[in-house]
Every structure is written in structure tokens, then in C-alpha cells.
Amino acid sequence: MQLPFGDYLVGNSLYPLALDLFTPTIFFFFFSASYRVFRYFAVYKKPFIPYATSVTRETSSTEKVKKLVDTFANSSKVGMKRKPVTTAVGLLMHLSLIVIIFLLAQHMIFWAYYISPYKILFPLAIPESSVDGELAFTLATSPYTPTSYPFVHDIWGPLTIILNGQYITYILVILLGIYLGHKFHALAEGLTLRSGDWWFFLLLYIDIILGFLATSHIPDSVAYYDNLLGAHILVAEILIATLPFTRGFHMFEFYLGKIREWYFMTYRRGEK
């Protein structure tokens, strides 16, 4: 379907195609994720537990909960001590990525369109550029037109001068650039590199740049905007669809692995 927008027919671009492919992408993701999870069940062997209880070991519930937090924090703690630069880059990159994917106002509207309860997070929305924050800070500007939804810097206030899509994207491009350098270093050293590393990483990099170009209207034309935004969504869809076959799946398995570690090492106290 093509909708008129001035002289330009909206729809004659990648944008509607990308939107049409979103639901199939999610289905494909669930199908692939189910395959990945099914494999765990297929090879599951019930562990034999020699000791049901132990007379020499006990630990309080408070200690167990405290250690759950420690279990998740340990990688970062040790990393900051022994590999401070790469760990800091990694942490900042993850944080920036999470903020931009889930809290950028435009993204939030997209998610809420498909998952209505997502609206509950709207008060946390961050704007796409620093201008909003700057205006809020210098002129205390409020929305010209009253809106039923919270304004983008209701909660963050002047913090949006730095906490916005524009600056976070700059940070991400730099941090992912450092990651890219890290990969070339590994390549030069003849260390482990997998095709999946490049696939996920490059798609992510491209997607961030496409999103940035679209939002920044570079080049400044509606036709380019539609195509860039469409390409941005399409690349994200490829990422989501292939997630269960790439390192991207760690966003789910991270919790599985760490909770498993905590269960055996803290909850069962090694009494596996």
C-alpha cells in the first residue's frame, strides 16, 4: 500500500517491506530458539547426586542470595582487575546498547506497537538528540502540544544532554570500533575467531550506522529516510532471525549459565 506524503509515495521503499517482515522474523526466531533449546533436552542426562545432604557444609539463605549477585558480577570484577580496558569497553558497550535498543523513544514506540504492555516503560524514554535535553536545561521548555504520554525528558531532565540516541550512538560506534580493532589483533595473532563473531558484530555495526543515518536525515531526503529506516529494521530483523545460531543468543544464555553456576556452587555447595 502506498500513502501520499507530499509528492512522495510512502511505501515505495524498504520501510513497509521491513515492517511486513517483522512478524515472520519473530516466528523464525522462536522456531530457531526452540531448536536450540530442544537440543539441550535431547541430550539431557539426569545427574547422579552422591550426597543428598552434607554434615560439614551449611550456608544461610542471605548468604546464598548475596552470592547470586556475586556470581553475576564476578566476570566484571575480575575483568576490571586484570583486563581493565577491554572490560570497561565491554561493559559500556553493553550498557549503551541496552539503553538505545530499549529506551530510545522511537524504539519504545516500535516495541509498544507489538507488545502493548511495553508502554509502562514510556516515562523512561530518552530523546534522539541532545537538543531536547539542552532546551529542557536552558529554557525549561515543555511540549508545545499537550500529550497523553510523558515527555521524553520528564524523568531524565537535563541528563538527556548526554543521555540521548545521538551521543550514545557516537559512543557505540567508537566502542564497537575498539572491538573491531580487537578482532583484527586476534586475527593477526592467529587466535580463535569464528565466522559467527564477524556475522553478528558486523551486522550490529552496520545496523547502528543505518539507524544513525536515518535518524539524522543523512542524506536529507524523505526517500532516503524511508529506505534507510527500512534497511535499519531489515538488518535488525536479520540479526534477530539468526540470533539462535550466533553469539547474539548470549543475551538469554548468560542467565542460564550464571544461574546454573550459582545453583551448583552456592545453592548445592558443590554437593552435585
Q: Which residues bind another protein (CB under 8 A)?
A: 36, 39-41, 43-45, 47-48, 50-52, 54-57, 74-75, 77-79, 81-83, 86-87, 90, 186, 189-197, 245, 247, 249-250, 253-254, 256-258, 260-261, 265, 269-272
- Cβ closest to another protein, residue 119 vs residue 182: 182
CA max distance for the chain: 80
- Cβ closest to another protein, residue 64 vs residue 217: 64
Between helix 165-189 and helix 84-103 the angle, nearest 10°, is 140
- The number of CA neighbours under 13 Å toward the Cβ of 114 is 12
- Cβ closest to another protein, residue 217 vs residue 250: 250
Task: Write out the three cell numbers for 177.
Answer: 570500533
What SS3 string covers 166-233? HHHHHHHHHHHHHHHHHHHHHHHHCCCCCHHHHHHHHHHHHHHHHHHHHHCCCCCCHHHHHHHHHHHH
Query: Shortest approach of another protein to residue 31 CB, angstroms?
Result: 14
- Cβ closest to another protein, residue 127 vs residue 244: 244
- Cβ closest to another protein, residue 75 vs residue 166: 75
Query: Shortest approach of another protein to residue 46 CB, angstroms?
Result: 10
Query: Shortest approach of another protein to residue 45 CB, angstroms?
Result: 5
Query: Shortest approach of another protein to residue 111 CB, angstroms?
Result: 24
How buried is residue 152: exposed, middle or buried, by Cβ count under 10 Å (0-12/13-18/19+)? buried
- CA angle at 18 for the pair 111 and 197, rounded to the nearest 5°: 80
Between helix 61-82 and helix 250-262 the angle, nearest 10°, is 130
- Cβ closest to another protein, residue 40 vs residue 144: 40
Contact between 160 and 136 under an 8 Å Cβ cutoff? The reply is: yes
Query: Shortest approach of another protein to residue 5 CB, angstroms?
Result: 42
Query: Shortest approach of another protein to residue 196 CB, angstroms?
Result: 8
Query: Shortest approach of another protein to residue 59 CB, angstroms?
Result: 8
Instruction: Name the region of 218 (left: φ>0; alpha: ψ -120 to 50; beta: rest).
Output: beta
- Cβ closest to another protein, residue 28 vs residue 111: 28
Q: Which of 151, 126, 143 is nearest to 215 (CA)?
A: 126
